[in-house]
Structure 1
Amino acid sequence: MRILVMGGSGLIGAHTADVLRARGHEVTTAARSAQAGVDRLLDVTRASVDEMRVVLAGQDGVVLATRTDEQRPLPKPIYPAFRRDMVDPVVRLFSAARLEGLGRGVVMGSYYTYFDRVRPQWRLAERHTYVRCRVEQAREGRAAAGAGLPVAVIELPFVVGRAGDRVPNWAGGLERWARSRAPLVAPAGGTAVVSALGVATVAAEALEGASGADIPVADENLSWAAFLARVAAVVGRPRPVRRLPAGVLRGGLRGGGVLADLFRKESGINPAHFADLLTAELFIEPAAGRSLDAAFRESFG
């Protein structure tokens, strides 16, 4: 197959391109800025349907692997900006893909949509603009694609690994903390974790099978304490991780929310409810059980 990978210079996009090529597919990469490994320049957040059709022409499938920062504070109200960056481009992309006769697509999404589906009592889409837009992204993107173009949504948890000089955007701060002499503290709860290579493999399988499913992925489920301890061990500064009391966490996040309100800003994840997420077990079952040792070393070693 001929596959276009949008966001092909990023951590997940680069791995996806490599895996697809290794499986015998012809891959074209696109990104908003010129750099090694990028074949075509296209800013998906700004490109029109006609501009997208140009890069999609002759392709059999498309992968959208661009990233959105859910924690970025923006002036209120933030929904129009998040929708402009997350939902509208996907609608245009799959409208263009349908017009060009593509037969399959993959969107790199978020595991928050998985939990919004299986834990409706958490009211994630109602409480968090980022989650609302992820839900709309999947629904409206599939509607634009139509029945003849199945679109799989890979629901991503924390992703570890490296592609060239690209590591997870949160890795630098966590590594500096782990290397410091500061005590390590973590709340109750935890998260699913997957390697970038694991994500790429699942994406390739979804394309080959023309899947239109929601696909939650996890290699391991880790408590936050275990996650932080693993990073500390990789950087050569192993030490105990103390429990962060839930009250302290809630107070700190609430204070940050009040400060943001004073400046009339907000982020995609609502600080008033963020502690509920951090203290929950954001685990995906069953986890694949693939070892993450190499991916942790790549991210933090």
Structure 2
Amino acid sequence: MKILVVGASGLLGQHTVTQLQRRGHVTTALARTDRPGIDHALDVSAASVGDWREVLAGHDGVVFAAGLDDRRPLRRPAYPTLRRANVEPVVALLTAARQEGLTRAAVIGSYFTCIHRHHPTWHLAIRHPYIRSRVEQAQEGRAAAGPNLPVAVLEVPFVFGAAIGRRPDWCRPLESWARSRWPLYAPDGSTAVTSARHVAEVAVTALEHASGEDLPVVEDNLSWQDMIARVASAVHRARPVRRLPSAVLRTALHLAGSLESLTGHQSGLTLAHLPDLLLHDLHLDPGPAAGLGLPGRPNLLDTAIAESLGR
């Protein structure tokens, strides 16, 4: 197959290109900025359907591994910016892919779409602009692709791993804290986690199978205490992780949200509602994605944690 990878200079994009090439596929790497290893430079937030058709001509499939995550405070209101980054480029891309006759596509999204699907009473897409953008990304992207272009949506949780010039942004403050002499605290609740390599494996296999499913991508479900403890161990600063009272977490995030409002900013995950999310068990069942990794290979999570921390 010949596959276009959008966002090929990012952490997940680089791993996806590598995994495609390992399996004998031809890749075209596209990113916002021209650099070694990038075949096309294109601002995806400004690209028209015509721009995408020109790039997509002659390809069998496409992976969208770009977009804006939930950890960057944005000017209030945050949703229009998130829509321009996460929804509109996917709609234009998949419209062009349908018109060019591509036969498969994968969108690397967020595990919050899975949690939203299984817990509709939490009203996540109403409370959090980032989650709304990811839900609409999947819905509107598939509508643009039409019935003859299957679109796999990878629902990706916290990712560990590294690539050239790339580590998860959220790892840096966590690493600094773990290396310090400060005590470690974590709230109740838990999250799914995975490695960048596993995300790439699932993406490539989904393309090979022309899957159109929602694919939760998970290698383990960890309590927040377990996750912080594993990071501390990886930097050789293992020590107990104490329980952070829920009331302290709620107060801290409420104050942070008030400060955001005063400065005219808003996070993709609304801070006032974030404790209600973090204090739950945000677990994933891999479901259809369970068979889409590489059979027989060991869990790569510990290796990926060490890579994330520059070890």
Matches within 5 A, 1:201-212: 201-212=201-212
Partner of 1:244: 244
- Equivalence for 2:45: 45
Residue deviations 1:171-203 (CA, integer Å, cap 9, x gap): 111111111111111111111111111000100
Give the TM-score normalised by structure 2: 0.94
RMSD: 1.3
- Residues 50-106 of structure 1 deviation map (CA, whole Å, 9 limit, x = unaligned): 111111111000000014131322232222222112111111111111111111100
Identify the residue that residue 302 of structure 2 maps to in structure 1. 293
Tell me the residue number matched to 2:172.
Answer: 172
CA distance in 1, matches of 2:159, 2:131: 18
Distance 2:66 2:186 in 1: 29
**Corresponding residue number in structure 2 for 1:149:** 149
For 1:111 and 1:155, the matched residues in 2 are separated by 4
Matches within 5 A, 1:1-301: 1-286=1-286, 290-300=299-309, 301=311
1:156–1:127 CA distance, 2 compared to 1 (3 A): same
User: Following TM superposition, by how much is the alpha carbon of 1:267 offset from its aligned partner in structure 2, in angstroms?
Assistant: 1.6
Amino acid corresponding to residue 308 of structure 2 in structure 1: S
- CA deviations on 1:144-186 (whole Å, 9 max, x unpaired) are 1111111110000001111123111111111111111111111
Shift of 1:280: 1.1
In 2, the alpha carbon distance for the partners of 1:248 and 1:78 equals: 26
> Helix, strand or coil: the match of 2:273?
helix
Q: Which amino acid aligns with 1:27?
A: T
SS at 1:221 equivalent:
strand
Stretches of structure 1 that go unaligned for 5 or more consecutive residues are none
Q: Distance in 2 between matches of 1:212 and 1:286?
A: 15
Partners of 1:227 and 1:192 lie apart in 2 by 10
Name the residue aligned to 2:294: none
- 1: distance between equivalents of 2:41 and 2:76? 31
In 2, Cα distance between equivalents of 1:276 and 1:70: 16
* Maintained 8 Å contact 2:129/2:268: yes
Determine if contact 2:192/2:283 at 8 Å carries over to the other structure: yes
Per the alignment, residue 293 of structure 2 pairs with none
Distance 1:84 1:23 in 2: 33
- 8 Å contact from structure 2 (residues 215, 286) kept in 1: no
Per-residue CA shift, 1:210-268, capped at 9, x if unaligned?
Answer: 11111001001111111111111111111111111100000000011111222332121
Change (3 A) 1:286 1:88: closer
Query: How far, CA to CA, are the matches of 1:130 and 1:82 in structure 2?
Result: 6
Conserved? CA contact 2:67–2:85, under 8 Å: no
Q: Tell me the TM-score normalised to structure 1 length.
A: 0.97
* CA distance in 2 between partners of 1:243 and 1:15 (Å): 35
65-74 or 202-211, which deviates more: 65-74
The aligned length equals 301
Amino acid at match of 2:29: T
1:291 deviation in Å?
Answer: 4.0
- The amino acid of 2:26's aligned partner reads E
